[in-house]
């Protein structure tokens, strides 16, 4: 029996997991616009000087070294569904029996005025470095002014990314920036803005309240029920007409399916690819979609969360689906197993919720550290990350406070 040809678009958590899972039974070609995978859960630590940028990026070819998977760097520009082929921006055409779309997500501005022009996203290493440079550049301005000029940083979005970002900025201010210049650091204000009633809405109200309290202890001003109407160059305006100053606005309010999916000529649903319970794209049984870009729904009829565990579970599931198809077996329906949620707030401060078990404080913080280190690709990256974390913990310092202008 001949091995099916599978092309996978996107080498994030879902795409890379799918490629490795299919290596045994298929001829796989993995495509990504970068030659490295970014470990997105730790990107906020790059933007707040906690980690070096190269510790969260790993060469895709290195991750595939012990497989027969082929890698192509490029982006899809069209799909010929009649002949089952995808054309890349390099002009290469890849034939397939099955196509897996795992292109991930992009920052969602929800159509709010000024977000694209006046805020910073955090989906790439370059964006994280831009945030770090902006924060450090404004800090240097405060050191130069030597007066009571205020500098405000606002993080929009009270989910795990926003909470972790706001907490990390507050610790950057309290630790190394205060050591560098106490007078300048005291003039930095940090805001966390959430449109809903509470931060971390996916967690229990008790853990949500604890998170808010811990953030406020770090010096973060937490604003809930604060829907953003407009982001201006130095100000955020809310729907009720009030406003706050914000020289640097970090947008962590949500993501949407990667816009490149529009080039694939497949159906969409609310900004994601429309899929069946089998994860096959609607009306295209030879195409599967996984991860952030897939419009898969849970038992409650709502879209599954755009998180790495969903993408990885779907990747392994689709690999088994393709194996079933190659053996002329019936397909199964995907069911996501929620293994819990977690977020870190600061030193010895984190929250974890797993199947009704709620943990906070130092134990949750160590659990968070271990889990992220476990999933980080590459021995060098693990050692480098451990070294940075250990140095930061022992010295209350962060050595990656460089201003690097990224075009």
Strand partners for 99? 7, 287
How many Cβ atoms from other residues are within 10 Å of residue 173's Cβ? 25
CA 54 to CA 175: how far, in whole Å? 23
| Other CB atoms within 10 Å distance of the CB of residue 307 | 19
Cα 32 to Cα 9, 16, 72, 234: the distances in Å are 6, 10, 7, 36
**What span, in angstroms and rounded, lies between the C-alpha atoms of 273 and 129?**
30
User: Three-state DSSP class for 102?
Assistant: coil
Q: Is 164 a catalytic residue?
A: yes
User: 3-class DSSP state for residue 370?
Assistant: helix
Q: Helix 13-22 and helix 308-326: axis angle, to 10°?
A: 30
User: How many residues would you count in the chain?
Assistant: 407
The answer to whether 255 and 232 have CB atoms below 8 angstroms apart is no
Rounded to whole angstroms, the Cα distance separating 79 from 100 reads 12
Q: Report which secondary-structure segment, H or E, holds 67.
A: none
Kindly list the distances between the CA atom of residue 297 and the CA atoms of 273, 304, 406, in Å, as whole numbers in the listed order. Answer: 12, 5, 38
Question: And the tokens for 376?
Answer: 């980080």
Q: Assess contact for 173 and 139: CB atoms under 8 A.
A: no
Pick from 221, 143, 217, 138: nearest CA to 181: 143
**Taking Cα atoms as reference points, which of 329, 332, 312, 322 lies closest to residue 287?**
322
Backbone dihedral angles phi then psi of residue 207, each to the nearest 5 degrees: -70, -35
| Residues in a beta bridge with 28 | 6
- Please pick, among 164, 171, 194, 247, the residue that the annotation labels catalytic: 164
Secondary structure of 293-353 in the HEC alphabet?
A: HECCECCCCCECCCCHHHHHHHHHHHHHHHHHHHCCCCCCCCCCCCCCEEEEEECCEEEEE
Annotated active-site positions, please? Answer: 164
């Amino acid at each position: 029996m001949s091995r099916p040809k599978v092309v996978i678009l996107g080498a994030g958590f879902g795409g890379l997991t799918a490629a490795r899972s299919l290596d045994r039974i298929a001829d796989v070609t993995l495509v990504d616009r970068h030659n490295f995978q970014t470990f997105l859960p730790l990107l906020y630590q790059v933007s707040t000087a906690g980690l070096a940028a190269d510790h969260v990026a790993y060469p895709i070819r290195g991750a595939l070294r012990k497989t027969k998977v082929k890698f192509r760097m490029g982006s899809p520009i069209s799909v010929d569904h009649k002949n089952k082929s995808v054309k890349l921006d390099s002009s290469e055409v890849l034939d397939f029996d099955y196509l897996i779309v795992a292109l991930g997500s992009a920052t969602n501005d929800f159509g709010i005025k000024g977000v694209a022009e006046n805020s910073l996203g955090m989906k790439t290493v370059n964006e994280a470095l831009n945030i770090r440079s902006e924060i450090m550049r404004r800090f240097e301005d405060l050191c130069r002014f030597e007066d009571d000029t205020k500098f405000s940083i606002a993080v929009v979005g009270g989910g795990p990314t926003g909470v972790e970002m706001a907490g990390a900025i507050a610790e950057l201010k309290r630790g190394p920036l205060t050591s560098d210049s106490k007078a300048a650091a005291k003039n930095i204000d940090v805001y966390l803005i959430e449109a809903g009633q509470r931060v971390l809405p996916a967690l229990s109200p008790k853990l949500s309240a604890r998170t808010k309290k811990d953030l406020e202890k770090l010096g973060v001003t937490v604003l809930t029920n604060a829907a953003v109407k407009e982001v201006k160059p130095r100000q955020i305006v809310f729907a009720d007409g009030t406003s706050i100053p914000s020289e640097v606005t970090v947008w962590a309010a949500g993501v949407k399916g990667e816009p490149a999916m529009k080039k694939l000529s497949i159906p969409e649903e609310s900004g994601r690819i429309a899929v069946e319970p089998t994860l096959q794209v609607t009306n295209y049984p030879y195409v599967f979609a996984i991860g952030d870009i897939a419009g898969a729904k849970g038992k409650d009829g709502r879209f599954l969360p755009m998180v790495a565990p969903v993408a990885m579970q779907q990747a392994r599931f689709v690999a088994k689906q393709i194996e079933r198809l190659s053996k002329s077996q019936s397909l199964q329906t995907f069911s996501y197993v929620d293994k819990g949620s977690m977020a870190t707030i600061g030193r010895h401060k984190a929250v974890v919720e797993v199947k009704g078990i709620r943990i906070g404080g130092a134990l949750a913080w160590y659990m968070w550290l271990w889990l992220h280190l476990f999933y980080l690709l590459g021995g060098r990256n693990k050692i480098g990350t451990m070294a940075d974390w250990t140095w930061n913990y022992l010295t209350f310092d962060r050595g990656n406070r460089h201003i690097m202008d990224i075009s």
